[in-house]
Structure 1
């Protein structure tokens, strides 16, 4: 809900998982994002990617693993 549509995050996402809200691929995630943004902490700085991040980059079925419990920074 805080997005100002500047587009800076899209090319910075290493998993290419960020789409403009006008993209059909974003439709299913818009409501989920609105809900989870209220309970997950706001990321304010870039961290170190997990060691296995490349293994998970294009793995299908990750949505089923999504938790409402925020991770630890």
Structure 2
């Protein structure tokens, strides 16, 4: 089993979850985080820390978000490890309330500069 970051993280990228991860399973993309399923130990410490409820245990991922399991696995191979918290994206609070935003996912190779 693993945990997965879903659509709610896009354009927010809060890192409260990263701070509590004991194994550095998070990866950072330009406008979203992902969890590497090979590193995740299913401790679930990250779940309550996410202010936008974007993290789920794979078996409990909502049906309309299950494609994020494969997406996290794929992107975790390209994005770099993030092991420390940092500020969220500048307009994260506004985007936290938006639901349909998967078309805004930036799959680039790392955080925006």
TM-score normalised over the length of structure 2:
0.58
Correspondence for 2:54: 17
Q: CA RMSD in A?
A: 1.6
**Bigger helix fraction:** 1
**Bigger strand fraction:** 2
Matched, 1:71 2:111: yes
25-34 or 37-46, larger mean C-alpha shift: 25-34
Structure 1 portions without partners, runs of 5+: none
Query: Which of 1 and 2 has higher RCO (CA within 8 Å, sep 6+)?
Result: 2
Structure 2 portions without partners, runs of 5+: 1-36
Structure with max Cα Rg: 1
TM-score normalised over the length of structure 1:
0.86
Aligned length: 73
